[in-house]
Structure 1
Amino acid sequence: MSLFGKTRRKVLPGFGLSLGFTLAYLSLIVLIPLSAAFIKTSGMTWDAFVQAVTSPRVVASYRLSFGVSFLAAAMNAFFGTIVAWVLVRYTFPGKKIIDALVDLPFALPTAVAGIALTAIYAKNGWLGGYLEPLWAKGVTTLDANAPGAWKDWLGLRIAFDRPGIFIALTFIGLPFVVRTLQPVLEEMEPELEEASATLGANRWQTITRVILPELTPALITGSALAFARALGEYGSVVFIAGNQPMHSEITPLLIITKLEQYDYRGATAIAVVLLVVSFTLLLLINLLQKWSRRHHALV
Protein backbone atom coordinates (compact mmCIF):
# COMPACT_ATOMS: atom_id res chain seq x y z
CA MET A 1 0.00 0.00 0.00
CA SER A 2 1.21 3.50 -0.75
CA LEU A 3 0.94 6.52 1.53
CA PHE A 4 -2.43 7.38 -0.06
CA GLY A 5 -3.91 3.93 0.53
CA LYS A 6 -3.70 2.82 -3.09
CA THR A 7 -1.87 -0.26 -4.31
CA ARG A 8 1.41 0.55 -6.04
CA ARG A 9 1.22 -0.38 -9.71
CA LYS A 10 4.00 -2.52 -11.15
CA VAL A 11 5.61 -1.80 -14.47
CA LEU A 12 5.34 -5.43 -15.65
CA PRO A 13 2.30 -7.71 -15.38
CA GLY A 14 1.95 -10.34 -12.66
CA PHE A 15 4.63 -12.86 -11.85
CA GLY A 16 2.88 -15.76 -13.59
CA LEU A 17 2.46 -13.96 -16.91
CA SER A 18 6.00 -12.52 -16.85
CA LEU A 19 7.54 -15.88 -15.98
CA GLY A 20 5.50 -17.63 -18.67
CA PHE A 21 6.63 -15.15 -21.31
CA THR A 22 10.25 -15.51 -20.16
CA LEU A 23 10.19 -19.30 -20.34
CA ALA A 24 8.45 -19.28 -23.72
CA TYR A 25 10.95 -16.82 -25.17
CA LEU A 26 13.95 -18.72 -23.82
CA SER A 27 12.53 -21.98 -25.11
CA LEU A 28 12.12 -20.63 -28.65
CA ILE A 29 15.45 -18.84 -28.79
CA VAL A 30 17.73 -21.09 -26.71
CA LEU A 31 16.31 -24.39 -25.44
CA ILE A 32 14.66 -25.77 -28.58
CA PRO A 33 17.62 -25.06 -30.94
CA LEU A 34 20.11 -26.51 -28.45
CA SER A 35 17.96 -29.55 -27.76
CA ALA A 36 18.16 -30.38 -31.49
CA ALA A 37 21.82 -31.30 -30.99
CA PHE A 38 20.93 -33.77 -28.25
CA ILE A 39 18.04 -35.20 -30.30
CA LYS A 40 20.29 -35.72 -33.30
CA THR A 41 22.97 -37.34 -31.14
CA SER A 42 20.48 -39.62 -29.42
CA GLY A 43 20.21 -41.59 -32.65
CA MET A 44 23.79 -42.82 -32.15
CA THR A 45 24.71 -45.83 -30.09
CA TRP A 46 26.90 -45.22 -27.05
CA ASP A 47 29.89 -46.88 -28.71
CA ALA A 48 29.47 -44.75 -31.83
CA PHE A 49 29.18 -41.61 -29.69
CA VAL A 50 32.33 -42.43 -27.74
CA GLN A 51 34.21 -43.21 -30.93
CA ALA A 52 33.06 -39.94 -32.51
CA VAL A 53 34.13 -37.74 -29.60
CA THR A 54 37.37 -39.54 -28.71
CA SER A 55 39.00 -40.13 -32.09
CA PRO A 56 42.65 -38.94 -32.24
CA ARG A 57 41.80 -35.96 -34.45
CA VAL A 58 38.99 -34.84 -32.15
CA VAL A 59 41.10 -35.28 -29.01
CA ALA A 60 43.88 -33.22 -30.63
CA SER A 61 41.36 -30.43 -31.31
CA TYR A 62 40.17 -30.61 -27.67
CA ARG A 63 43.73 -30.34 -26.44
CA LEU A 64 44.40 -27.33 -28.64
CA SER A 65 41.12 -25.51 -27.93
CA PHE A 66 41.18 -26.02 -24.18
CA GLY A 67 44.92 -25.44 -23.83
CA VAL A 68 45.16 -22.24 -25.86
CA SER A 69 41.88 -20.91 -24.40
CA PHE A 70 43.29 -21.38 -20.91
CA LEU A 71 46.57 -19.66 -21.82
CA ALA A 72 44.71 -16.76 -23.45
CA ALA A 73 42.47 -16.37 -20.38
CA ALA A 74 45.54 -16.37 -18.11
CA MET A 75 47.20 -13.72 -20.26
CA ASN A 76 44.07 -11.58 -20.17
CA ALA A 77 43.82 -12.02 -16.41
CA PHE A 78 47.25 -10.42 -16.01
CA PHE A 79 47.13 -7.66 -18.60
CA GLY A 80 43.39 -7.07 -18.22
CA THR A 81 43.97 -6.23 -14.55
CA ILE A 82 46.59 -3.67 -15.54
CA VAL A 83 44.34 -2.13 -18.21
CA ALA A 84 41.39 -1.90 -15.82
CA TRP A 85 43.60 -0.37 -13.11
CA VAL A 86 44.93 2.31 -15.47
CA LEU A 87 41.46 3.18 -16.76
CA VAL A 88 40.01 3.52 -13.26
CA ARG A 89 42.87 5.00 -11.27
CA TYR A 90 44.44 7.48 -13.71
CA THR A 91 43.31 10.42 -15.80
CA PHE A 92 45.19 11.11 -19.03
CA PRO A 93 44.56 12.46 -22.55
CA GLY A 94 42.76 9.99 -24.77
CA LYS A 95 41.41 7.94 -21.87
CA LYS A 96 37.90 7.75 -23.31
CA ILE A 97 39.28 6.54 -26.65
CA ILE A 98 41.27 3.77 -24.99
CA ASP A 99 38.25 2.85 -22.88
CA ALA A 100 36.17 2.55 -26.05
CA LEU A 101 38.86 0.47 -27.76
CA VAL A 102 38.51 -2.15 -25.02
CA ASP A 103 35.02 -2.92 -26.36
CA LEU A 104 36.21 -3.16 -29.97
CA PRO A 105 36.35 -7.00 -29.93
CA PHE A 106 32.65 -6.96 -28.93
CA ALA A 107 31.62 -4.70 -31.81
CA LEU A 108 33.99 -5.96 -34.50
CA PRO A 109 32.75 -8.91 -36.60
CA THR A 110 34.89 -11.91 -35.75
CA ALA A 111 35.77 -12.57 -39.39
CA VAL A 112 37.03 -9.01 -39.76
CA ALA A 113 39.13 -9.45 -36.62
CA GLY A 114 40.62 -12.66 -38.00
CA ILE A 115 41.49 -11.08 -41.34
CA ALA A 116 43.01 -8.04 -39.63
CA LEU A 117 45.13 -10.13 -37.26
CA THR A 118 46.30 -12.30 -40.16
CA ALA A 119 47.29 -9.23 -42.18
CA ILE A 120 49.29 -7.91 -39.24
CA TYR A 121 51.04 -11.10 -38.09
CA ALA A 122 51.55 -12.94 -41.39
CA LYS A 123 55.10 -13.31 -42.64
CA ASN A 124 54.59 -10.41 -45.06
CA GLY A 125 52.45 -8.41 -42.58
CA TRP A 126 53.17 -5.21 -40.69
CA LEU A 127 54.56 -6.97 -37.63
CA GLY A 128 54.96 -10.53 -38.80
CA GLY A 129 57.88 -9.71 -41.07
CA TYR A 130 59.86 -8.52 -38.03
CA LEU A 131 58.52 -10.81 -35.32
CA GLU A 132 58.32 -14.17 -37.07
CA PRO A 133 62.09 -14.57 -37.68
CA LEU A 134 62.75 -13.71 -34.03
CA TRP A 135 59.98 -16.05 -32.90
CA ALA A 136 61.24 -18.94 -35.05
CA LYS A 137 64.79 -18.46 -33.77
CA GLY A 138 63.60 -18.38 -30.15
CA VAL A 139 61.50 -21.53 -30.54
CA THR A 140 64.39 -23.35 -32.21
CA THR A 141 66.63 -22.41 -29.30
CA LEU A 142 64.09 -23.75 -26.81
CA ASP A 143 63.71 -26.86 -28.93
CA ALA A 144 67.42 -27.57 -28.60
CA ASN A 145 66.89 -28.18 -24.88
CA ALA A 146 63.78 -30.34 -25.37
CA PRO A 147 63.91 -31.97 -28.83
CA GLY A 148 60.62 -31.72 -30.65
CA ALA A 149 58.51 -30.65 -27.68
CA TRP A 150 58.51 -26.88 -27.94
CA LYS A 151 58.59 -26.76 -31.71
CA ASP A 152 55.65 -29.15 -32.04
CA TRP A 153 53.54 -27.22 -29.53
CA LEU A 154 54.48 -23.62 -30.28
CA GLY A 155 55.15 -23.83 -34.01
CA LEU A 156 57.78 -21.90 -35.92
CA ARG A 157 55.30 -19.41 -37.39
CA ILE A 158 53.02 -16.84 -35.78
CA ALA A 159 50.21 -16.58 -38.29
CA PHE A 160 48.77 -19.84 -39.65
CA ASP A 161 49.96 -21.71 -36.57
CA ARG A 162 49.23 -22.07 -32.85
CA PRO A 163 50.65 -18.65 -31.85
CA GLY A 164 48.11 -17.05 -34.18
CA ILE A 165 45.30 -18.89 -32.39
CA PHE A 166 46.61 -17.62 -29.06
CA ILE A 167 46.69 -14.02 -30.33
CA ALA A 168 43.13 -14.23 -31.69
CA LEU A 169 41.72 -15.73 -28.48
CA THR A 170 43.54 -13.16 -26.36
CA PHE A 171 42.11 -10.40 -28.54
CA ILE A 172 38.48 -11.50 -28.16
CA GLY A 173 38.76 -12.29 -24.43
CA LEU A 174 40.31 -9.08 -23.07
CA PRO A 175 37.04 -7.08 -22.69
CA PHE A 176 35.52 -9.72 -20.40
CA VAL A 177 38.28 -9.31 -17.83
CA VAL A 178 38.49 -5.51 -18.05
CA ARG A 179 34.74 -4.90 -17.85
CA THR A 180 34.37 -7.32 -14.94
CA LEU A 181 37.14 -5.69 -12.93
CA GLN A 182 36.28 -2.04 -13.58
CA PRO A 183 33.19 -1.81 -11.32
CA VAL A 184 35.07 -3.48 -8.47
CA LEU A 185 38.01 -1.10 -8.82
CA GLU A 186 35.67 1.88 -8.92
CA GLU A 187 34.14 0.77 -5.60
CA MET A 188 37.54 0.30 -3.96
CA GLU A 189 38.50 3.34 -1.92
CA PRO A 190 42.03 4.67 -2.56
CA GLU A 191 42.18 5.27 1.19
CA LEU A 192 42.76 1.54 1.65
CA GLU A 193 46.04 1.78 -0.24
CA GLU A 194 47.01 4.92 1.67
CA ALA A 195 46.25 3.24 4.99
CA SER A 196 48.36 0.25 3.95
CA ALA A 197 51.29 2.52 3.13
CA THR A 198 50.81 4.40 6.41
CA LEU A 199 51.07 1.11 8.32
CA GLY A 200 54.43 0.44 6.70
CA ALA A 201 53.51 -1.88 3.84
CA ASN A 202 55.53 -1.62 0.65
CA ARG A 203 53.93 -1.61 -2.79
CA TRP A 204 54.16 -5.37 -3.26
CA GLN A 205 52.55 -6.03 0.11
CA THR A 206 49.78 -3.56 -0.70
CA ILE A 207 49.11 -5.33 -4.00
CA THR A 208 49.13 -8.86 -2.60
CA ARG A 209 47.41 -8.24 0.75
CA VAL A 210 45.03 -5.35 0.06
CA ILE A 211 44.23 -5.07 -3.64
CA LEU A 212 44.33 -8.63 -4.98
CA PRO A 213 42.09 -10.14 -2.26
CA GLU A 214 39.42 -7.60 -3.21
CA LEU A 215 39.84 -8.26 -6.94
CA THR A 216 40.12 -12.05 -6.82
CA PRO A 217 36.38 -12.93 -7.10
CA ALA A 218 35.84 -10.57 -10.04
CA LEU A 219 39.14 -11.60 -11.62
CA ILE A 220 38.18 -15.28 -11.51
CA THR A 221 34.76 -14.49 -12.97
CA GLY A 222 36.20 -12.38 -15.81
CA SER A 223 38.85 -14.99 -16.61
CA ALA A 224 36.23 -17.75 -16.67
CA LEU A 225 34.10 -15.69 -19.07
CA ALA A 226 37.13 -15.09 -21.31
CA PHE A 227 37.92 -18.82 -21.26
CA ALA A 228 34.33 -19.80 -22.13
CA ARG A 229 34.24 -17.23 -24.95
CA ALA A 230 37.56 -18.43 -26.36
CA LEU A 231 36.50 -22.07 -26.23
CA GLY A 232 33.69 -21.52 -28.73
CA GLU A 233 35.39 -18.90 -30.90
CA TYR A 234 35.47 -19.62 -34.63
CA GLY A 235 35.40 -16.57 -36.90
CA SER A 236 38.52 -14.77 -35.72
CA VAL A 237 40.54 -17.99 -35.40
CA VAL A 238 39.80 -19.77 -38.65
CA PHE A 239 41.68 -17.20 -40.74
CA ILE A 240 44.85 -17.15 -38.66
CA ALA A 241 45.04 -20.75 -37.40
CA GLY A 242 46.37 -22.57 -40.45
CA ASN A 243 43.74 -25.27 -39.75
CA GLN A 244 46.16 -28.20 -40.00
CA PRO A 245 44.56 -31.41 -38.64
CA MET A 246 46.18 -32.78 -35.50
CA HIS A 247 48.15 -29.54 -35.06
CA SER A 248 46.28 -26.25 -35.50
CA GLU A 249 42.67 -27.37 -35.95
CA ILE A 250 40.31 -26.06 -33.27
CA THR A 251 37.20 -27.96 -32.22
CA PRO A 252 34.60 -25.52 -33.70
CA LEU A 253 36.37 -25.81 -37.07
CA LEU A 254 36.28 -29.61 -36.83
CA ILE A 255 32.50 -29.42 -36.31
CA ILE A 256 32.16 -27.34 -39.50
CA THR A 257 34.40 -29.79 -41.35
CA LYS A 258 32.21 -32.74 -40.37
CA LEU A 259 29.10 -30.85 -41.46
CA GLU A 260 30.69 -30.22 -44.85
CA GLN A 261 31.39 -33.96 -45.06
CA TYR A 262 27.70 -34.68 -44.26
CA ASP A 263 28.70 -36.36 -41.00
CA TYR A 264 25.87 -34.71 -39.10
CA ARG A 265 25.83 -37.09 -36.17
CA GLY A 266 29.58 -36.82 -35.69
CA ALA A 267 29.32 -33.02 -35.77
CA THR A 268 26.45 -32.92 -33.28
CA ALA A 269 28.26 -35.38 -30.99
CA ILE A 270 31.25 -33.04 -30.74
CA ALA A 271 28.87 -30.10 -30.39
CA VAL A 272 27.17 -31.80 -27.45
CA VAL A 273 30.52 -32.19 -25.70
CA LEU A 274 31.26 -28.47 -26.14
CA LEU A 275 27.71 -27.61 -25.11
CA VAL A 276 28.00 -29.57 -21.87
CA VAL A 277 31.37 -28.00 -21.11
CA SER A 278 30.05 -24.51 -21.88
CA PHE A 279 26.97 -25.02 -19.69
CA THR A 280 29.19 -26.26 -16.85
CA LEU A 281 31.40 -23.20 -17.24
CA LEU A 282 28.39 -20.87 -17.20
CA LEU A 283 27.10 -22.58 -14.06
CA LEU A 284 30.49 -22.13 -12.40
CA ILE A 285 30.58 -18.49 -13.53
CA ASN A 286 27.16 -17.86 -11.97
CA LEU A 287 28.33 -19.46 -8.73
CA LEU A 288 31.47 -17.31 -8.82
CA GLN A 289 29.39 -14.18 -9.37
CA LYS A 290 27.16 -15.14 -6.43
CA TRP A 291 30.25 -15.69 -4.29
CA SER A 292 31.66 -12.35 -5.45
CA ARG A 293 28.48 -10.47 -4.50
CA ARG A 294 28.38 -12.19 -1.11
CA HIS A 295 32.06 -11.40 -0.57
CA HIS A 296 31.55 -7.69 -1.25
CA ALA A 297 28.41 -7.64 0.89
CA LEU A 298 30.39 -9.00 3.84
CA VAL A 299 33.16 -6.50 3.27
Structure 2
Amino acid sequence: MFSGLSGFPITPMNEAGIDEAAYAGLVQRLAAAGVDSIGALGSTGVYAYLSREERARVARLAVDAAGGVPVMAGIGALRTRDVLDLAEDAQRAGVGALLLAPVSYHSLNAAEVYCLFETVARNVSVPLCVYDNPGTTRFDFSDELHGRIAQLPNIRSIKIPGVPAQPAAAAERVARLRALVPAHVSIGVSGDKFGATGMSAGCEVWYSVIGGIFPKTTLAITRAAQAGNAAEAARLSERLAPLWELFGKYNGSLRVIGAAANLMGLAQQPCIPLPLHAIEGADREHLARLIDTLELA
Protein backbone atom coordinates (compact mmCIF):
# COMPACT_ATOMS: atom_id res chain seq x y z
CA MET A 1 0.00 0.00 0.00
CA PHE A 2 2.71 2.48 0.94
CA SER A 3 5.33 1.87 -1.72
CA GLY A 4 5.81 2.63 -5.40
CA LEU A 5 3.48 5.02 -7.19
CA SER A 6 0.30 6.40 -5.67
CA GLY A 7 -1.69 8.28 -8.33
CA PHE A 8 -3.93 11.13 -7.21
CA PRO A 9 -6.70 11.90 -9.74
CA ILE A 10 -8.81 15.01 -9.88
CA THR A 11 -12.48 14.77 -8.91
CA PRO A 12 -14.17 16.06 -12.09
CA MET A 13 -17.03 18.34 -11.15
CA ASN A 14 -18.96 21.47 -11.98
CA GLU A 15 -21.49 23.51 -10.04
CA ALA A 16 -24.16 20.87 -10.70
CA GLY A 17 -22.18 18.11 -9.01
CA ILE A 18 -19.57 15.41 -9.48
CA ASP A 19 -19.14 13.80 -12.89
CA GLU A 20 -19.25 10.26 -11.57
CA ALA A 21 -18.68 8.56 -14.92
CA ALA A 22 -15.58 10.66 -15.62
CA TYR A 23 -14.22 10.01 -12.14
CA ALA A 24 -14.72 6.27 -12.41
CA GLY A 25 -13.01 6.38 -15.79
CA LEU A 26 -9.98 8.16 -14.35
CA VAL A 27 -9.65 5.62 -11.54
CA GLN A 28 -10.07 2.67 -13.91
CA ARG A 29 -7.38 4.16 -16.14
CA LEU A 30 -4.95 4.30 -13.22
CA ALA A 31 -5.70 0.73 -12.22
CA ALA A 32 -5.21 -0.49 -15.78
CA ALA A 33 -1.85 1.31 -15.99
CA GLY A 34 -0.59 -0.56 -12.94
CA VAL A 35 -0.23 2.11 -10.26
CA ASP A 36 0.48 0.71 -6.81
CA SER A 37 -2.26 2.68 -5.08
CA ILE A 38 -4.79 5.42 -5.77
CA GLY A 39 -5.19 8.59 -3.70
CA ALA A 40 -8.78 9.78 -3.69
CA LEU A 41 -9.78 13.15 -2.28
CA GLY A 42 -6.33 14.68 -2.07
CA SER A 43 -5.74 18.35 -2.78
CA THR A 44 -6.02 17.68 -6.52
CA GLY A 45 -9.17 15.74 -5.68
CA VAL A 46 -10.57 19.04 -4.30
CA TYR A 47 -11.71 17.43 -1.05
CA ALA A 48 -12.05 20.79 0.69
CA TYR A 49 -14.73 21.87 -1.80
CA LEU A 50 -16.98 18.84 -1.28
CA SER A 51 -19.72 18.09 1.22
CA ARG A 52 -19.53 15.10 3.53
CA GLU A 53 -22.02 13.24 1.35
CA GLU A 54 -20.05 14.00 -1.81
CA ARG A 55 -16.82 12.84 -0.21
CA ALA A 56 -18.41 9.59 0.92
CA ARG A 57 -19.69 9.04 -2.60
CA VAL A 58 -16.29 9.71 -4.17
CA ALA A 59 -14.63 7.25 -1.78
CA ARG A 60 -17.12 4.57 -2.79
CA LEU A 61 -16.70 5.32 -6.49
CA ALA A 62 -12.92 5.07 -6.16
CA VAL A 63 -13.02 1.73 -4.38
CA ASP A 64 -15.53 0.30 -6.85
CA ALA A 65 -13.58 1.49 -9.90
CA ALA A 66 -10.12 0.56 -8.63
CA GLY A 67 -10.56 -3.14 -9.29
CA GLY A 68 -8.66 -4.21 -6.19
CA VAL A 69 -5.92 -1.57 -6.35
CA PRO A 70 -5.65 -0.10 -2.83
CA VAL A 71 -7.37 3.25 -2.35
CA MET A 72 -6.42 5.92 0.18
CA ALA A 73 -8.96 8.67 0.87
CA GLY A 74 -8.41 12.16 2.27
CA ILE A 75 -10.29 13.03 5.46
CA GLY A 76 -8.98 16.51 6.27
CA ALA A 77 -11.49 19.00 7.75
CA LEU A 78 -11.52 22.00 10.06
CA ARG A 79 -12.97 20.19 13.10
CA THR A 80 -11.79 16.94 14.64
CA ARG A 81 -15.43 15.87 14.94
CA ASP A 82 -15.81 16.15 11.17
CA VAL A 83 -12.53 14.37 10.50
CA LEU A 84 -13.78 11.40 12.52
CA ASP A 85 -17.08 11.37 10.62
CA LEU A 86 -15.23 11.45 7.29
CA ALA A 87 -12.95 8.66 8.45
CA GLU A 88 -15.95 6.52 9.30
CA ASP A 89 -17.54 7.18 5.91
CA ALA A 90 -14.34 6.31 4.05
CA GLN A 91 -13.84 3.12 6.02
CA ARG A 92 -17.41 2.06 5.29
CA ALA A 93 -16.66 2.66 1.60
CA GLY A 94 -13.87 0.11 1.84
CA VAL A 95 -10.73 2.25 1.51
CA GLY A 96 -7.43 0.70 2.49
CA ALA A 97 -5.99 3.82 4.13
CA LEU A 98 -6.77 7.38 5.18
CA LEU A 99 -4.89 10.60 4.37
CA LEU A 100 -5.03 13.36 6.96
CA ALA A 101 -3.83 16.96 6.63
CA PRO A 102 -4.08 19.35 9.59
CA VAL A 103 -6.59 21.66 7.91
CA SER A 104 -7.21 24.93 9.69
CA TYR A 105 -8.53 28.47 9.40
CA HIS A 106 -6.80 29.65 12.59
CA SER A 107 -3.16 28.61 12.61
CA LEU A 108 -2.50 25.41 14.55
CA ASN A 109 0.39 24.79 16.90
CA ALA A 110 2.37 21.56 17.27
CA ALA A 111 0.45 20.40 20.33
CA GLU A 112 -2.87 20.81 18.54
CA VAL A 113 -1.65 18.92 15.48
CA TYR A 114 -0.33 16.09 17.63
CA CYS A 115 -3.69 15.92 19.46
CA LEU A 116 -5.51 15.74 16.13
CA PHE A 117 -3.46 12.80 14.92
CA GLU A 118 -3.57 11.07 18.30
CA THR A 119 -7.36 11.28 18.39
CA VAL A 120 -7.84 10.07 14.83
CA ALA A 121 -5.19 7.34 15.00
CA ARG A 122 -6.88 5.82 18.04
CA ASN A 123 -10.32 5.87 16.44
CA VAL A 124 -9.71 4.30 13.03
CA SER A 125 -9.19 0.72 11.95
CA VAL A 126 -7.19 1.25 8.74
CA PRO A 127 -3.71 2.75 8.24
CA LEU A 128 -3.29 6.51 8.37
CA CYS A 129 -0.96 8.65 6.26
CA VAL A 130 0.25 12.01 7.59
CA TYR A 131 -0.27 14.70 4.95
CA ASP A 132 2.45 17.33 5.35
CA ASN A 133 1.30 20.08 2.97
CA PRO A 134 2.32 23.52 4.27
CA GLY A 135 1.40 25.15 0.97
CA THR A 136 -2.29 24.71 1.79
CA THR A 137 -2.42 24.15 5.57
CA ARG A 138 0.16 26.81 6.47
CA PHE A 139 1.48 24.42 9.11
CA ASP A 140 5.13 23.36 9.06
CA PHE A 141 5.86 19.97 10.57
CA SER A 142 9.18 19.56 12.33
CA ASP A 143 10.96 16.23 11.97
CA GLU A 144 10.58 15.80 15.71
CA LEU A 145 6.80 16.16 15.46
CA HIS A 146 6.74 13.66 12.61
CA GLY A 147 8.71 11.30 14.81
CA ARG A 148 6.23 11.63 17.68
CA ILE A 149 3.20 11.18 15.46
CA ALA A 150 4.80 8.18 13.75
CA GLN A 151 4.80 6.35 17.10
CA LEU A 152 0.99 6.46 17.28
CA PRO A 153 -1.09 3.40 16.40
CA ASN A 154 -2.18 3.03 12.77
CA ILE A 155 0.30 5.61 11.41
CA ARG A 156 1.89 3.96 8.38
CA SER A 157 3.22 6.71 6.12
CA ILE A 158 4.32 10.35 5.98
CA LYS A 159 3.71 12.38 2.83
CA ILE A 160 6.39 15.07 2.77
CA PRO A 161 6.06 18.08 0.45
CA GLY A 162 9.36 17.69 -1.39
CA VAL A 163 13.11 17.27 -1.05
CA PRO A 164 16.14 19.40 -1.95
CA ALA A 165 16.99 19.38 -5.65
CA GLN A 166 20.54 18.10 -5.15
CA PRO A 167 20.65 14.29 -4.72
CA ALA A 168 23.10 14.35 -1.80
CA ALA A 169 21.07 16.96 0.08
CA ALA A 170 17.87 15.04 -0.66
CA ALA A 171 19.38 11.84 0.73
CA GLU A 172 20.47 13.68 3.87
CA ARG A 173 16.99 15.14 4.34
CA VAL A 174 15.30 11.74 4.02
CA ALA A 175 17.89 10.15 6.32
CA ARG A 176 17.25 12.76 9.04
CA LEU A 177 13.55 11.99 8.99
CA ARG A 178 14.09 8.24 8.75
CA ALA A 179 16.21 8.34 11.92
CA LEU A 180 13.16 9.57 13.84
CA VAL A 181 10.49 7.42 12.19
CA PRO A 182 9.89 3.69 12.85
CA ALA A 183 10.78 1.30 10.06
CA HIS A 184 7.13 0.30 9.55
CA VAL A 185 6.23 3.91 8.64
CA SER A 186 7.08 4.72 5.03
CA ILE A 187 8.30 8.10 3.84
CA GLY A 188 6.63 9.35 0.68
CA VAL A 189 7.50 12.30 -1.51
CA SER A 190 5.03 14.67 -3.16
CA GLY A 191 5.49 17.75 -5.29
CA ASP A 192 5.99 16.06 -8.64
CA LYS A 193 9.06 18.08 -9.57
CA PHE A 194 10.80 16.30 -6.68
CA GLY A 195 9.41 12.80 -7.28
CA ALA A 196 12.40 11.25 -9.03
CA THR A 197 14.91 12.81 -6.64
CA GLY A 198 12.89 11.81 -3.60
CA MET A 199 12.48 8.21 -4.69
CA SER A 200 16.19 7.92 -5.49
CA ALA A 201 17.00 9.50 -2.11
CA GLY A 202 15.21 6.80 -0.16
CA CYS A 203 11.51 7.65 -0.18
CA GLU A 204 9.49 4.47 -0.53
CA VAL A 205 6.47 5.98 -2.28
CA TRP A 206 5.71 8.83 -4.65
CA TYR A 207 2.36 10.50 -3.94
CA SER A 208 1.84 11.97 -7.38
CA VAL A 209 -0.56 14.38 -9.05
CA ILE A 210 0.75 13.59 -12.53
CA GLY A 211 0.43 9.93 -11.57
CA GLY A 212 -3.31 10.58 -11.46
CA ILE A 213 -3.46 11.84 -15.07
CA PHE A 214 -0.28 10.50 -16.75
CA PRO A 215 0.23 7.16 -14.98
CA LYS A 216 2.42 5.49 -17.61
CA THR A 217 4.77 8.47 -17.72
CA THR A 218 5.01 8.56 -13.94
CA LEU A 219 5.40 4.80 -13.58
CA ALA A 220 8.45 4.86 -15.87
CA ILE A 221 10.14 7.33 -13.51
CA THR A 222 9.06 5.40 -10.43
CA ARG A 223 10.26 2.03 -11.66
CA ALA A 224 13.64 3.47 -12.74
CA ALA A 225 14.14 4.92 -9.25
CA GLN A 226 13.03 1.69 -7.57
CA ALA A 227 15.53 -0.24 -9.69
CA GLY A 228 18.33 2.02 -8.46
CA ASN A 229 18.73 3.79 -11.80
CA ALA A 230 18.73 7.34 -10.45
CA ALA A 231 20.20 8.77 -13.64
CA GLU A 232 17.37 7.39 -15.78
CA ALA A 233 14.74 8.53 -13.29
CA ALA A 234 16.27 12.02 -13.33
CA ARG A 235 16.42 12.07 -17.13
CA LEU A 236 12.78 11.11 -17.46
CA SER A 237 11.78 13.72 -14.89
CA GLU A 238 13.85 16.47 -16.50
CA ARG A 239 11.92 15.96 -19.75
CA LEU A 240 8.90 17.24 -17.87
CA ALA A 241 10.50 20.57 -16.92
CA PRO A 242 8.00 22.55 -19.05
CA LEU A 243 5.20 20.93 -17.06
CA TRP A 244 6.85 21.88 -13.75
CA GLU A 245 7.09 25.45 -15.06
CA LEU A 246 3.35 25.54 -15.71
CA PHE A 247 2.68 24.22 -12.21
CA GLY A 248 4.84 27.00 -10.82
CA LYS A 249 3.16 29.68 -12.89
CA TYR A 250 -0.30 28.68 -11.63
CA ASN A 251 0.68 28.20 -7.98
CA GLY A 252 0.16 24.46 -8.10
CA SER A 253 -0.97 21.68 -10.36
CA LEU A 254 -4.77 21.69 -10.11
CA ARG A 255 -5.57 24.26 -12.80
CA VAL A 256 -3.12 22.59 -15.18
CA ILE A 257 -4.35 19.06 -14.50
CA GLY A 258 -7.97 20.16 -14.93
CA ALA A 259 -7.13 21.48 -18.39
CA ALA A 260 -5.14 18.32 -19.22
CA ALA A 261 -8.07 16.08 -18.30
CA ASN A 262 -10.30 18.02 -20.67
CA LEU A 263 -7.73 18.10 -23.48
CA MET A 264 -7.32 14.32 -23.23
CA GLY A 265 -11.07 13.70 -23.30
CA LEU A 266 -11.08 12.39 -19.73
CA ALA A 267 -13.36 15.06 -18.28
CA GLN A 268 -15.67 17.76 -19.54
CA GLN A 269 -14.93 21.44 -19.08
CA PRO A 270 -15.29 22.85 -16.46
CA CYS A 271 -14.07 20.03 -14.24
CA ILE A 272 -12.83 21.92 -11.17
CA PRO A 273 -15.03 23.91 -8.77
CA LEU A 274 -15.60 27.62 -8.94
CA PRO A 275 -14.08 30.04 -8.20
CA LEU A 276 -11.12 28.01 -9.57
CA HIS A 277 -10.54 27.96 -13.33
CA ALA A 278 -8.47 25.59 -15.45
CA ILE A 279 -5.78 27.28 -17.52
CA GLU A 280 -6.90 28.88 -20.75
CA GLY A 281 -5.57 30.70 -23.80
CA ALA A 282 -1.93 30.40 -24.85
CA ASP A 283 -0.96 28.31 -21.83
CA ARG A 284 -3.70 25.80 -22.58
CA GLU A 285 -2.42 25.53 -26.15
CA HIS A 286 1.11 25.11 -24.79
CA LEU A 287 -0.12 22.32 -22.52
CA ALA A 288 -1.79 20.58 -25.46
CA ARG A 289 1.51 20.65 -27.34
CA LEU A 290 3.36 19.28 -24.31
CA ILE A 291 0.94 16.37 -23.98
CA ASP A 292 1.58 15.55 -27.63
CA THR A 293 5.33 16.13 -27.93
CA LEU A 294 6.23 14.55 -24.58
CA GLU A 295 3.83 11.67 -25.27
CA LEU A 296 2.29 12.03 -21.84
CA ALA A 297 0.06 9.10 -20.99
Normalising to structure 2: TM-score of the pair?
0.25
TM-score, structure 1 as length reference: 0.25
More helix by share: 1
Query: Larger RCO: Structure 1 or Structure 2 (Cα < 8 Å, ≥ 6 residues apart)?
Result: 1
